[in-house]
């Protein structure tokens, strides 16, 4: 599997004949330095953790242009359908869906979820994390936006993720030290951890240095990729 970080919480997964975008926030994302059309080339699926604009991102335009299937919570799927997205696959917390060659499971996240339009804030289901499992590939856990919570222990026990994408930016999610505690306490069996949701906007932690320092001695590989540069796991 090739994992490409696209800035903020956006990732691209390439494996077998699948191209999966996670939280594809490109337009207006100061941490994204690539070309949207290029990074979405060949996309088969778009997975969204929750309904905030910096995670829904360019989903509508990419889905319309490529026909990629959009997988997210029920309420957000219904909202996207009203925006003209035709290929949707709604689900919810605890559920698993077969995407033909891989599965997606939605797990809990401690965060809010909704969009602001015309000065009205309306909810779009719950915030979630995503578990991606494919035969012969490492199990990937994208935490979405979240704080630490004790049931991460159950997520680790049930799904045994090998690659964990974790928000470290503080203010809206865990900060670096708490994120490191979450990994060390609950996900000690992971092969690699990739920090995200930082360095995009001034209120967020500007880099991953504190997280790397807090993970020192854990024995877990911390991957801090350059933007739009992929790592193989």
User: How many domains does the structure of the chain reveal?
Assistant: 1
In three-state secondary structure terms, 184 is helix
The strand order across the sheet containing 140-142 reads 96-98, 103-108, 128-133, 140-142, 163-167, 192-196, 221-222
* Residue 141, beta-bridge partner list: 131, 164
- pLDDT tens sequence across 1-38: 999 999 999 999 999 999 999 999 999 999 998 899 99
Band (126; pLDDT cuts 50, 70, 90): very high
On whether residue 233 sits in a domain, the answer given is no
Look at the alpha carbons of 169, 151, 111, 228 in this order and tell me if their dihedral is positive or negative. positive
| Residue that wins the pLDDT comparison between 181 and 233 | 181
Is the residue at 152 inside a domain?
Answer: yes
Stated pTM of the model: 0.96
Distances (CA, A) of 141 to 39, 59, 75, 104, 133: 21, 20, 22, 10, 9
CA distance 140 to 49: 13
Domain of 214: which CATH number?
Answer: 3.60.15.10
Question: Quick check: is 8 in a domain?
Answer: yes
pLDDT value of position 230: 62
User: What range defines the domain where residue 140 resides?
Assistant: 2-225
Residue 78 has pLDDT above 90, yes or no: yes
Beta carbons of 58 and 70 less than 8 angstroms apart: no
Query: Is 26 within a domain?
Result: yes
């Amino acid at each position: 599997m090739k994992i490409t970080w696209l800035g903020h919480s956006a990732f691209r997964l390439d494996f077998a004949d699948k191209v999966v975008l996670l939280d594809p926030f490109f337009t207006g994302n100061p941490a994204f330095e690539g070309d949207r059309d290029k990074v979405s080339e060949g996309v088969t699926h778009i997975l969204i953790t929750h309904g905030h604009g910096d995670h829904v991102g360019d989903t509508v335009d990419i889905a319309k242009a490529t026909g990629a299937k959009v997988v997210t919570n029920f309420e957000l799927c219904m909202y996207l359908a009203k925006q003209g997205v035709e290929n949707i696959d709604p689900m919810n917390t605890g559920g698993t869906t077969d995407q033909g060659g891989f599965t997606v499971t939605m797990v809990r996240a401690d965060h809010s979820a909704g969009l602001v339009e015309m000065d009205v804030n309306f909810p779009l289901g719950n915030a979630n994390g995503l578990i991606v499992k494919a035969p012969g590939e490492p199990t990937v856990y994208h935490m979405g936006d979240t704080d630490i919570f004790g049931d991460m222990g159950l997520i680790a026990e049930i799904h045994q993720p090998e690659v964990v994408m974790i928000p470290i930016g503080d203010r809206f999610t865990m900060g670096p030290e708490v994120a490191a505690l979450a990994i060390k306490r609950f996900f000690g069996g992971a092969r690699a951890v990739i920090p995200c949701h930082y360095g995009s906007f001034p209120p967020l932690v500007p880099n991953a240095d504190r997280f790397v320092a807090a993970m020192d001695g854990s024995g877990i590989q911390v991957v801090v990729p350059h933007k739009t540069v992929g790592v193989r796991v």
